[in-house]
């Protein structure tokens, strides 16, 4: 029997590759971490460019409708780019100028609370017969006081730890500002040359992937549709929810209406759970002014959330995500565990793209089987 040399060569080659990977695992991981750390500002710049391009494309369509002069058409790209970035700067400025003063005022209100008033409130609550029955089920007053004391020490310890980290991270903040600056500059370059970059990408795919190029273009189109639909639909829905919150709070005479409306709109960009984060912060802000107003706010938000979830969200967002609610919740959970808030935002359109690809493949298989069976 003649022994084929490939029977020996391939196992030896696989063994050598595995041994080299295991032996140099730490060095390889360190090299990859360094590579991705250096590349992260440019990846962030590409992401910023993609998001800004959504607004910029809208300005370009409006520019084409309003401006017919060929000479002025040459200025379309710089004009629409400036308008798009100015829109985001205006939004960020608006958030900081409205939200920050109210947050500072609420913190001052919390710091100005007299501990005697808190103790009097606790005594009134403890002497309530219904509260006494609940406390009897969970433990004595001493146990409750001990529990509150323990939580207070933990919160104070966490606060001091955060404050220490902030004070010790001046160099990190400077480095982050530099990275943000590089990302924004790179995003401007991407937007200024988006057609050229798109042509080069298609040329590379068609040249080197051959018959597989069609699959790559299909995957790119699916990702673009899901990400674009998600960002546009979710942003529009968040703006409507935030506006309704602010208007409703003004009509009810509740404090911090504009601030809480902006907070809820901003956090509502995260599907399903985002709005509840804004509601929690808003509830704490109002409680610094009035407990009864906080209850009214909570009732109003519950009713508004029902209206938004059953009427606004299906009509505004609709099928833009193309993902059932169960999978949206799964995507948010996994994305948050892997990459925090950014993971929550990215995981939904990624899973929606994967869902659409599997759905299309299943339909193709079923159609193929039906043709063969027929």
| Cα distance between residue 245 and residue 257, in whole Å | 8
69 has a pLDDT exceeding 60 = yes
Average pLDDT of span 338-355? 82
368 has a pLDDT exceeding 60 = yes
Backbone angles phi, psi at 210, to 5 degrees: 55, -120
Number of CB atoms found within 10 A of residue 211's CB: 6
Query: Residue 17: enclosing H or E segment and its boundaries?
Result: helix 6-23
What pLDDT was estimated at residue 26? 77
What pLDDT was estimated at residue 125? 56
160 has a pLDDT exceeding 60 = no
What pLDDT was estimated at residue 85? 94
| Cα distance between residue 186 and residue 184, in whole Å | 5
**Burial of residue 202, with CB atoms counted within 10 A of its CB: 0-12 exposed, 13-18 middle, 19 or more buried:** middle
Report yes or no: 345 and 335 within 8 Å, Cβ to Cβ. Answer: yes
89 has a pLDDT exceeding 80 = yes
> Whose CA is closest to 289, among 263, 264, 254?
254
Check the CA dihedral 45-47-48-50 and report its sign: positive
176 has a pLDDT exceeding 90 = no
What pLDDT was estimated at residue 1? 46
**217 or 25, which is more confident?**
217
158 has a pLDDT exceeding 60 = no
* Residues whose CB falls within 8 Å of the CB of residue 209, separated by 6 or more in sequence, listed in order: 216
271 has a pLDDT exceeding 60 = yes
Confidence band for 342, pLDDT divided at 50, 70 and 90 = confident
Residue 3 is given by DSSP the state P
State the pTM of this model: 0.70
- Maximum mean pLDDT: which of 52-66, 89-103, 136-150: 52-66
81, 183, 341 from 38: Cα distances, Å: 26, 12, 22
Tens digit of each residue's pLDDT (9 = 90 or more) over 277-286: 788 888 888 8
Number of CB atoms found within 10 A of residue 215's CB: 12
250 has a pLDDT exceeding 80 = yes
Tens digit of each residue's pLDDT (9 = 90 or more) over 6-32: 566 777 777 778 877 777 777 777 887
| Cα distance between residue 222 and residue 220, in whole Å | 5
* Residues whose CB falls within 8 Å of the CB of residue 76, separated by 6 or more in sequence, listed in order: 60, 63, 64, 67
Query: 117-136 burial, b for 16+ CB within 10 Å, e for fewer?
Result: eeeeeeeeeeeeeeeeeebe
* Residues whose CB falls within 8 Å of the CB of residue 261, separated by 6 or more in sequence, listed in order: 242, 243, 245, 246, 247, 249
| Cα distance between residue 279 and residue 297, in whole Å | 9
Average pLDDT of span 123-142? 59
Report yes or no: 243 and 266 within 8 Å, Cβ to Cβ. Answer: no
Average pLDDT of span 195-201? 90
Percent of the chain with pLDDT over 90: 15
Average pLDDT of span 159-172? 55
Backbone angles phi, psi at 5, to 5 degrees: -65, -20
Confidence band for 60, pLDDT divided at 50, 70 and 90 = very high
What pLDDT was estimated at residue 277? 79
82 has a pLDDT exceeding 90 = yes
Average pLDDT of span 311-317? 63
DSSP 140-199: -HHHHHHHHHHHHHHHHHHHHHHHHHHHT-HHHHHHHHHHHHHHHHHHHHHHHTHHHHHH
**42 or 99, which is more confident?**
42
Tens digit of each residue's pLDDT (9 = 90 or more) over 221-242: 998 988 888 888 888 888 888 8
**317 or 23, which is more confident?**
23
> Whose CA is closest to 270, among 283, 258, 282, 279?
279
Confidence band for 79, pLDDT divided at 50, 70 and 90 = very high
Tens digit of each residue's pLDDT (9 = 90 or more) over 98-130: 777 777 776 666 566 556 655 665 566 556 666
Confidence band for 316, pLDDT divided at 50, 70 and 90 = low
Number of H helices, E strands in the chain: 15, 0
Average pLDDT of span 240-251? 90
374 has a pLDDT exceeding 80 = no
What pLDDT was estimated at residue 233? 82
Report yes or no: 205 and 217 within 8 Å, Cβ to Cβ. Answer: yes
* Residues whose CB falls within 8 Å of the CB of residue 166, separated by 6 or more in sequence, listed in order: none
Q: Which two tokens stand for residue 233?
A: 């639909």
Confidence band for 81, pLDDT divided at 50, 70 and 90 = very high
């Amino acid at each position: 029997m003649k022994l084929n040399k490939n029977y020996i060569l391939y196992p030896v080659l696989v063994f050598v590759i595995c041994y080299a990977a295991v032996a140099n695992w730490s060095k390889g991981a360190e090299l990859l971490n360094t590579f991705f750390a250096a590349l992260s500002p440019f990846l962030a710049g590409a992401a910023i460019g993609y998001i800004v391009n959504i607004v910029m494309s809208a300005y370009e369509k409006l520019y084409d409708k309003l401006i017919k002069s060929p000479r002025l058409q040459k200025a379309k790209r710089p004009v629409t780019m400036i308008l798009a970035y100015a829109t985001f700067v205006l939004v960020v400025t608006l958030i900081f100028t409205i939200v920050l003063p109210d947050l500072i005022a609420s913190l001052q209100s919390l710091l100005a609370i007299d501990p005697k008033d808190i103790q009097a409130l606790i005594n009134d609550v403890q002497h309530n017969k219904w509260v006494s029955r609940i406390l009897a089920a969970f433990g004595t007053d001493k146990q409750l006081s001990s529990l509150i004391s323990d939580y207070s020490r933990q919160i104070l310890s966490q606060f001091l730890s955060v404050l220490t980290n902030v004070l010790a991270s001046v160099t990190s903040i400077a480095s982050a500002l530099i990275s943000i600056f590089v990302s924004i500059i790179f995003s401007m370059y991407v937007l200024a040359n988006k057609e050229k970059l798109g042509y080069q990408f298609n040329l590379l795919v068609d040249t080197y992937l051959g018959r597989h190029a069609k699959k790559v273009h299909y995957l790119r189109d699916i990702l673009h549709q899901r990400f674009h639909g998600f960002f546009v639909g979710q942003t529009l829905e968040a703006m409507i929810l935030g506006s309704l919150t602010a208007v409703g709070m003004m009509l009810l005479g509740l404090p911090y209406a504009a601030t809480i409306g902006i907070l809820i709109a901003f956090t509502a960009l995260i599907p399903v759970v985002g709005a509840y984060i804004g509601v929690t912060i808003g509830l704490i802000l109002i409680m610094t002014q009035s407990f009864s107003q906080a209850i009214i706010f909570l009732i109003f938000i519950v009713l508004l959330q029902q209206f938004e979830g059953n009427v606004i969200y299906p009509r505004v967002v609709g099928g833009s995500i193309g993902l059932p609610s169960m999978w949206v919740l799964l995507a948010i959970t996994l994305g948050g565990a892997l990459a925090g808030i950014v993971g929550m935002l990215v995981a939904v359109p990624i899973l929606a793209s994967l869902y659409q690809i599997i759905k299309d493949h299943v339909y193709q298989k079923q159609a193929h089987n039906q043709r063969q069976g027929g």
